[in-house]
Amino acid sequence: MIAGIVLVAIPTLFIHQGKGRSALHLVAESDSWAPVLIRAGKVYIFIVGLVGLSAGLRPVVDAYVRHLPGELLFWINTSSAVVDNATLAAVEIGPSLSRNQQRFAMLGLLISGGMLIPGNIPNIVAASRLGITSREWAAHGLRTGMLLLILCFGVLGLVGAL
C-alpha cells in the first residue's frame, strides 16, 4: 500500500493546477437529515446483501479461488473496473486465501476499481457531480490505472521475492 501511495503522490507534485472552481460548490446545503438517513439505510442494506452473498459463495471460493496464485488473482480482479469492487471483495476475500493471495487480490481490486466509472460507487458519484462522461473518465483512468497496475504488480513481485 505504501508503495502505491508513493507512486501516486510523486507525480502530483508536478501537475499544474488550472484555474477552476472547487467541487465543493456542488454540494447542496439542506436543513433536512432525511436524505442522509435514507442514503445510510440504502448503504446498510447493500452491505447486508454483500455479507449474504459472501456467505453463500464461500464454498465456491474455498473450492476454487484459494488454489489460484496471487499473481493471477491480481489480474483477474482488474474486472472490478467494470464490476463493483465491493462485491468482488466480499465474495473473494476470506480466511481460506493466504496472506500473499489476499495482498495481490486487494491491490488488484483497489487500483482497477478507479479505472472506469462503474468500478466504484464514489466514481459514480464524482462523475455525476462533476459532469464527467464515461469516455472522459476512461481516457485518464485506463492509462493511469494500467500504469499503476503494472508498477504495483512489480513491487508485489519484489516484496514476494524478499
Per-residue pLDDT tens for 139-157? 888 888 898 889 888 888 8
- Maximum Cα interatomic distance, the chain, rounded to a whole number of Å: 55
Q: Which H/E stretch holds residue 126?
A: helix 121-130
Per-residue pLDDT tens digits for 53-82: 888 988 988 888 889 999 999 998 888 777
What is the C-alpha separation between 3 and 35, in angstroms, rounded? 38
Per-residue pLDDT tens digits for 108-149: 888 888 888 876 778 888 888 888 888 888 888 888 889 888
Of the listed ranges 14-23, 35-44, 95-104, the one predicted with least confidence: 14-23
